[in-house]
Amino acid sequence: MKLRTILMGAAAVIATAPAAMAERGSDGNVNVIYWQAPSILNPYLSSGTKDIESSSLVIEPLAGFDEKGDLFPRLAEDIPTVENGGVSKDMTSITWKLKKDLKWSDGTPVTSADVAFTYQYCTAPDGGCAQGAHFDGIKSVETPDPQTIVVTFTAPKPNPYLAFVGGQSPILQKAQFADCLGAAAPTCTEQNFHPIGTGPFVVKDFKTGDVLQLEANPNYRDPAKPAFATMTLKGGGDAESAARAVMETGEFDYAWNTQINPDLQAQMTAAGKGHFVNAFGTLVERIEMNQTDPSPDLAEGERSTVKHPHPFLTDPNVRLALSKAIDRQALVDVGYGEAGRPTCSIVPAPAAYASTNTDCIKQDLDGAKKLLDEAGWKDTDGDGIRDKDGKKMHILFQTSTNPVRQDVQALVKGWWNEVGVEVELKNIDASVYFGGDAGSPDTFEKFYADVEMYANNFDGTNPEAYLAGYLCSKIPGPDNQWQGENIPRYCDPEYDKLVAELAKTSDMTQRGDLAKKMNDMVSAVGMDSMALIDRGRLSAASNTLGGVVVNTWDSELWNVQDWTRIK
Amino acid sequence: MLDAGSSAPLTLAPPRSQWRDVWDQFRTHKGALIGMAVFFALVALVVLGPHLWRYDPNFIEPDAMKMIKSRNQPASLAHPIGTDQLGRDMLARMIAGGKVSISVGFVAMTISICFGTFVGVMAGFFRRLDGPLMRLTDLFLALPLLPLLLVMVMLFRDALAGVMGPSLGTFLLIVTAIGVTSWMQSARIVRGEVLALKEREFVLAARSIGTPSRRLILRHVLPNVVSPVMVAATLNIADAIITESALSFLGLGFPPDFPTWGRLLFDGLPYLQQYPERVFWPGLAISLTVLSVNYIGDGLRDALDPRIRGR
Amino acid sequence: MLTYIFRRLLIAVPTLLLISLVIFLLVDLAPGSPMSEIPLTVPPEVKKKMIEAMGADQPVFVRYLLWLRQFFWVEPAYWLDGHFGTHLAGDAQRILSYQTRSPVFITIGQRIPQTMTVIGSAYLVGVLIALPIGIYSAYRQYSWFDQAGTFFAMIGFSVPTFFTGVLLIVVFAAKLQWFPSVYDTTLKVTDWASFLKQVRQMVLPVTVLAMFNAATISRYMRSSMLDNLGQDYVRTARAKGMGEGTVVLKHVLRNSLIPVVTVIALGIPSIFGGAIITEQVFKVNGLGAALIGAIHANDLPMVQTLTFIFAVLIVLFNLIADVLYGILDPRIRYA
C-alpha cells in the first residue's frame, strides 16, 4: 500500500508539471488496450466511441474540452468569444484563427482550406456523415485568408462551439480526402485507415478490429512531445480482462472503460501494478417509466403508443413511490463502487446546468407504501400484490444484458416486491436492444415493457439537444419507424414551451435555470425518467504511466502527448 | 437378441427375459452403478431440494444495510454454501438452477439425438435420401448460430410465452433451439456407421431373406449404432447445459431471475479469485452430471451389446 | 470414384447457392441494425442518412444480388488484378463492411494467419493427444488409465472454455506470470527469440482449445476401438498367432479410425470458423472474433461473406470425409 501511495504521488507530480525536460520519443513504447477494437480511423464515417477516440490520436479539431469541461484551443490560436470579438454579437457567426506554422504530419502546412473542406466533406450528399449533427444550422464556412475560418449560422446560435470542436469533429487534410466526397467516402479505405493528421501520433499500421500501431508525429507542434516514440492500441476481449492486463499482469499501460464490479476493483488494485482513474461526466443510468400501455393484448402498432395511456405509471404518485422504494446508494455499492454516485437528475453536470435536487437519494419504503395507498392501489385480495379496480400492479422491467444491470434489476425487484408491486424481469442482448430495428419487438425505443433501464448522456457540455429529446413530437411510434428520443413518451405542452425558450436564450444563468427546471419536470420531481446513478468513466492506468488525466467531455486520450513513463 | 453377425454360443439354460440379461450385465459395471447413484442423487436433490431447503433463491434483504452485510458470505449454518454478491442463498440457487439445467440438458439432448439418428439412418440406408439429407446437414452446419437464435427468439418467444406462459415457453424455445442446432454431428456419424453396416454380412443376409427395410433398420442397424450415439449423447448433454448458459449470457435464454448452473458458473467467474467456491459448486454440479451420464452410457452400451453380454 | 467426386462437386454449386440465400435471409431477418453500436447521442436523422449511405436500406433481394455479383465476379477480378496486373475489375465496388467501410477481404486476409496458427495448432495438438489416449483407454478398458482418461475428458468437456480460459489467465498470467494473457498479433517470427515469444503466447489459448478438442475426439476413438476389439476378425487374427501390436495397431486401429476420421475431418472447417470465446478471452482477434463482432454490429456483408466461406469449407470437407471413408473402408462403394 505504501509503495502505491508513493507511486501515486509521483504520478501526481508528473501530471501537474508536464515533463518539460523530456525529449520526443525518449520513453519507448506505450501499450493501450481498448476492449472494443477500433474499426476505422475516420470519425465522420463511424461515431462509435472506440473509433472517435483512436482517431483523436492522429487527427485533431480546432478546439477541445479539458477535464473540467472547459474549451481549450488545439489547432486554433485561441477560443473565439463574444468578448474577444471572435463570436458576433448577434451569435450568427464565429471566426476561428489557426495557430501559425502548423504542419500536417507529411510536412505540408495546415490552412483554412482544410477546415472548409472538412465541412464540405461532412455535408456532402450521400456521404452518410456520422457527425452531421455537429454541422447543423451552418449557412456557410468561408476562408478569407489561409489562417482564418468564418462560420456563419442560419440563425443565432447560443452555442457556436459544435463544428470543429471535440473529438467528434476533427480537421481532415484536403489534399488527402479530396477524392473521397459523398458516395465515394467509403471507397477511400487507405485514407480512412491512415489519415494524415496534426496529432501527436501518426498511423504506422492499422489492422481493423484488432490493433493500431502508431509512431510519434515528426512534425508535431510541440518539439518535445510526445514522450513516447511508439504506441500500440490493441483491441478485443472484455472490460474485466482489459483491466486485468493492466492491473494484474502488467502487460498494458492503460485500459479504457474498465467498468467492473467494486469487489473486483478492490482485488485488482491490491495487486499493486496499477490504479483506476475515474471522472464523472453526464452519463446517467436511468429507469424510464412508460407513459403508454405496453400490454400485449393491444394490436400491433398500438402497443406503447400515445393512443393508450399506461394504467398506473401515468400517476405521478405511483412513479414517486417506485422511486422512493429504491436505495440508490446500495446500487452504487453493489454495482459501481468508485465509478458511480447516486443522482436524481438526468443532467448531473456541468455545474451550470445541473439540478441540485437530491430528494430521491434517501430510501423510504414506508413513504412509498403510503403513497401507493393514497393513490388507491391496495392489496385487497391478500396475495401481497397491490391492485385497483381488479387490475394488479404488475411491472415488466427490461434492460440490456450486462451483469451489473442484472444485479440492479434483482435489487430493484426486491424493493418493489417489498412495497407490494409484482415485477417480471427481462434482459435483451445489447445489439438488439440498442439496435433500433423497427422490425424487432425488443428495442428500447419500442419499449414493450412497463419500465426499462439504460444509460444515456449528451455530447460536450450543452444539454440543449438532449433536453429537447423530451418534446411531445419526439415520441417514438409506428408513424416515425419508432425513431425518436422521447423514450418514456413524456408529453407536456409546458415543457415544450421551455424547450423553445432555451433555444433562444443565450444568457448563461438563464439557460442554467431553464435546464434545471426542465430536468426537475421530467426527472427529479416528475420521475418519468427516473435517474438512478451518475456513472463515471473508470479506466485503468499502470503505475509506471505518468500524465494520465481522465476526461469525460472529450476523447479519453485527449492529452496523450503529455503521457510519460515513470522510471 | 441374436443376430446373424454374432456367433456367441447359445446358452442352454431356460429362457430368460432379455431385459433381465441387460440389467444383470449392467450391474456388473461398477462405474455405471456409481454413475447411476450419483445421477439419481442429483435428480433427488433438485426435485426434493425445494421442499427440504425452503429458501427463495431470489430472496434479497429489502433493508439495504442488511443486504450489504449479507453479501458474499462464506459457508455457514444459515447458508451451507454461502451467499452471492446480492446476498442470495447459493444452495437454494444451486437447487433451482439444477432443475432447469438438468431438464434442458436432457430434453435438448433427446431432441438432438433422435433427430440426428433419424437423419443419419435415413441418409445412410436409403441411397436416394443421402444427397438431400446430407446437404441439409451442410446447411445447418454452415448457418451462423447466433443470428439463427436471434431470429427464433424474435419470431417465437412472445407467441410461445402467450400460449404457455413465460417460463415454459422459454424452456421449449431454448431446448428446441439447442436441439435443432446440435444434431448434425450425430447425423454425420450415424450415417457413416450405417454406410459401413449396410455392407456387413448379417445385413446382407437379412436382406436376402426378404426382411423389410423397417425391420432391418430397427432390428439390425439401430442396435449396432448405439455406441457412437451414446458417446454423442453424453457429449450433447454437457453441450446443452453449457449452450444454455451462453444463451442466458447473451440475453436469449431464461429471464435473469431464473438461475441455471451455467449461468451461476458464468456469474461467479469475476469472483474467481476472491470467492472460488462461487464457481466451484456449479462447475462441480455440471461435471458430475456429465460424468455420471457418461458412465451410465458406458454401462448401457456394454449391457446392450450381446457379444459382451454373453461373456 | 472420380465420377463420384465430380458429381458431388457439381451438386455442391446449387447447394451452396441455396445455403448463401438462406444465410442472407436469416441474417437480414435477425433483429438489430448496423446502428446498434452508435452512441445514443447521435440523432435519428443522422442514423438514417448513415444507413442510406451504406446501402442497407435497399430491398433484401437487391442487396443479395449485389452481394452475389461482388462475391463471384468483382472480388475474383480484384484478386486477379492484384496478382497479374490486369484491369478486369475496373471501378466496380468490392464487398464493403458496414463497420469498417472497407473491403471485407482485407479484414479476412488479416485474420486468417492468427486463426490458422492458434486454432489450427490447437486442433492438431488435440488430435495428437486424443488418438493415443483413446486407443490405449479402449485396449485397457477399465484400467486406471482408462478411468483417469475418461475423468479428465469429461471434465475437459463439461467445463466451458470461458471458464478454463479465465482460470488459466488468472493462474499462469496474473499469478505466476509465465505466459502473456494478450495475444500479440503484430509479432513477426524472424529469429529464435521471437519464435520463443510466439510459442509462449500460444501456450494458453492452445491449451484451452486442445483440451476441449482432445476430450471429444478421444471419446469417439475409444468407443470405436471398443467396438472393433470385440469383433470376430480380431479373435481370428489372434488365433492365427499374430502379435498383439499388429492386431491392435494394424487391424483394429484401421477399422476404428473410420468413424473418427469423419469427426476429425468435420472439425477442420470449424478451425476457420475460429473459436469465438477463446479468441475473445485471449484477444487473438481471428475470424471467430470478426464474425461475432460483425453479428453484434449487424454487419451483413461481413457476416454473409464469412459464413459463406465457412459453408464452402464444410461442403468441401464433407466430401473429403466421404472420400476418405471409401478409401479406408473398401466395403463402402460409391456409385
Domain housing B120: 19-51+91-309
In terms of C-beta distances under 8 Å and separation of at least 24 residues, what long-range contacts does A20-26 make, across chains too?
A20/A224, A22/A224, A22/A225, A22/A227, A22/A564, A23/A224, A23/A227, A24/A216, A24/A220, A24/A223, A24/A224, A24/A225, A24/A226, A24/A227, A24/A229, A25/A216, A25/A226, A25/A227, A25/A228, A25/A229, A26/A227, A26/A229
Question: Is residue B77 a part of any domain in this protein?
Answer: no
pLDDT, residue A119, reads 93
CB contact (8 A) between residue A133 and residue C185: no
Q: Is A236–C285 a contact, with Cβ atoms under 8 angstroms apart?
A: yes
- Residues of chain A positioned with their CB less than 8 A from the CB of C300: none
Whether the pLDDT of residue A202 is over 90: the answer is yes
Assess if residue B271 is contained within a domain.
yes
Burial A131-144 (b: 16+ CB within 10 A, else e): bbbbbbebeebebe
Residue A20 has pLDDT above 60, yes or no: no
Pick the range with the lowest mean pLDDT from A519-523, C84-88, C139-143.
C84-88
B13-22 confidence digits (pLDDT tens): 666 677 787 7
Residue A289 CB partners (closer than 8 Å, separation 6+): A310, A313, A319, A322, A450, A451, A488, A527, A528, A529, A530
| CB contact C192 to B (< 8 Å) | no
Q: How far is A542 from chain C (nearest CA, A)?
A: 15
Contact A350, A552 (CB under 8 A): no
A389-421 pLDDT, tens digit per residue, is: 888 899 999 998 888 898 899 899 989 998 999
Contacts of C142 in chain B (CB under 8 A): 31
Over residues B104-141, the pLDDT tens digits come to 888 999 999 999 999 999 998 888 888 888 888 888 88
CB contact under 8 A, B142 and C307: yes
Which residues of chain A does B274 touch, with a Cβ-Cβ cutoff of 8 Å? 263-264, 267
Q: Which residue has the higher pLDDT, A97 or B224?
A: A97
| Nearest chain A residue to C48, by CA | A128
Enclosing domain of residue C263: 111-296
Does pLDDT of B163 surpass 80? no
Provide the shortest C-alpha distance from residue B139 to chain A (in Å): 25
In chain A, % of residues over pLDDT 90: 46
pLDDT of A197: 92
Residue B303, SS3 per DSSP: helix
Query: Contacts of residue B194 in chain C, CB cutoff 8 Å?
Result: none
Residue B251 pLDDT: 67
Please name the member of C18, C154, C311 whose beta carbon is closest to the beta carbon of B291.
Answer: C154
Task: Provide the pLDDT for residue A450.
Answer: 94
Q: Is 90 exceeded by the pLDDT of residue C138? A: no
Confidence of residue B12 (pLDDT cuts 50, 70, 90): low
Mean pLDDT of A222-250: 89
Predicted pLDDT at C334 = 60
Task: Report percent pLDDT > 70 for chain A.
Answer: 96
pLDDT in tens, B31-46: 888 888 999 999 998 8
pLDDT of amino acid B263: 84
> Which pLDDT score is estimated for B15?
64
| Chains contacting A (3+ CB pairs below 8 angstroms) | B, C
pLDDT band at A338 (very low <50, low <70, confident <90, very high): confident
Interval A142-184: pLDDT, tens: 999 999 999 999 988 888 888 899 888 999 999 999 988 888 8
| Neighbour tally for C276: CB within 10 Å | 22
The predicted model gives B210-233 an average pLDDT of 82
Bridge-based pairing of strands A451-456 and A394-400 is parallel
Q: Chain C interface, mutation test: which of B138, B154, B302, B308, most C Cβ atoms within 10 Å?
A: B138
The pLDDT of residue A4: 45
What letter does residue B218 receive in the DSSP assignment?
Answer: I
Inter-chain contact A130–C42, Cβ cutoff 8 Å? yes
**Inside any domain, residue B274:** yes
Q: Say which CATH number the domain at B146 has.
A: 1.10.3720.10
Asked if residue C70 is part of any domain, the answer here is: no
Q: Give the mean pLDDT of C68-79.
A: 84
Tell if the CB–CB gap between A410 and B257 is shorter than 8 Å. yes
User: For A238, which residue in chain B has the nearest alpha carbon?
Assistant: B270
CB-CB neighbors (< 8 A) of B185 in chain C: 263, 266
Angular region, C330: left φ>0, alpha ψ -120 to 50, beta rest: alpha
pTM for this model (two decimals): 0.84
Measured between CA atoms, the residue of chain C closest to residue A168 is C42
CATH topology of domain A3-236+538-565: D-Maltodextrin-Binding Protein; domain 2 (3.40.190)
User: Is residue C68 one of the residues assigned to a domain?
Assistant: no
Q: Any CB–CB contact under 8 A between A403 and chain C?
A: no
In chain B, the residue whose alpha carbon lies closest to the alpha carbon of C12 is B135
Q: What is the pLDDT of residue C332?
A: 66
CA C13 from chain center: how many Å? 21
Inside any domain, residue C312: no
Quick check: B292 contacting C, CB < 8 Å? no
Residues of C in contact with A256 (CB under 8 A): none
pLDDT of residue C254: 81
Higher pLDDT, A318 or B199: A318
Q: Which one is predicted more confidently, A447 or A126?
A: A447
Q: What is the pLDDT of residue B11?
A: 52
pLDDT at C273: 66
The pLDDT of residue A15:
44
Predicted confidence (pLDDT) per residue in C29-46, tens digit: 877 777 777 777 777 778
pLDDT at A118 over 90: yes
Count: domains in chain B:
1
Indicate if the pLDDT at residue A287 is higher than 90: yes
Write the CATH number of the domain with boundaries A280-536: 3.10.105.10
Q: Are B249 and C117 in contact (CB under 8 A)?
A: no
Least confidently predicted of B63-67, B302-306, C163-167: B302-306
How far apart are the CA of A415 and the nearest CA of chain B, in angstroms?
Answer: 6
Is the confidence at residue B165, as pLDDT, over 80? no
Is B7 a member of any domain? no
How confident is the model at residue A7, as a pLDDT?
A: 44
Per-residue model confidence as pLDDT tens digits over A320-335: 999 999 999 999 988 8
Instruction: Tell me if A34 sits within 8 A of A233, measured CB to CB.
Output: yes
Q: Is the pLDDT of residue A23 over 50?
A: yes
Instruction: Give residue-wise pLDDT tens across range C145-159.
Output: 888 887 787 777 777
A205–C186 C-beta distance less than 8 A: yes
CA–CA distance, C237 with C257 (Å, rounded to integer): 18
Which residues in chain C touch residue B204, judged by CB atoms under 8 angstroms apart?
none
- Which pLDDT belongs to residue B1? 39
Inform me whether the pLDDT recorded for B281 exceeds 50.
Answer: yes
Are the Cβ atoms of A432 and B158 closer than 8 angstroms?
Answer: no
Which of the residue ranges A219-223, B5-9, C244-248 has the most confident prediction, judged by mean pLDDT?
A219-223
Instruction: Give the pairing type, strands A451-456 and A387-388.
Output: unpaired
Of residues B192, B227, B241, nearest to C258 (C-beta): B192
The CATH number for C140's domain is: 1.10.3720.10
pLDDT at A11 over 70: no
Range of lowest pLDDT (A30-39, B244-253, C15-24, C289-298): B244-253
Residue C31 sits at the chain B interface (C-beta within 8 Å): yes
Give A95's pLDDT tier (boundaries 50, 70, 90). Answer: very high
Q: Is the pLDDT at B258 greater than 90, yes or no?
A: no
Which chains sit next to B, with 3 or more Cβ pairs under 8 A? Answer: A, C
- Judged against a pLDDT cut of 90, whether residue A96 lies above it is answered with yes
The pLDDT of residue B306 is: 64
Q: How far apart are the CA of B67 and the nearest CA of chain C, in angstroms?
A: 28
Domain extent listing, chain A? 3-236+538-565, 280-536
Q: Do the domain assignments include residue B221?
A: yes
Q: Search chain B and give the residue with CA nearest C153.
A: B291
Assess whether pLDDT exceeds 50 at residue C71.
yes
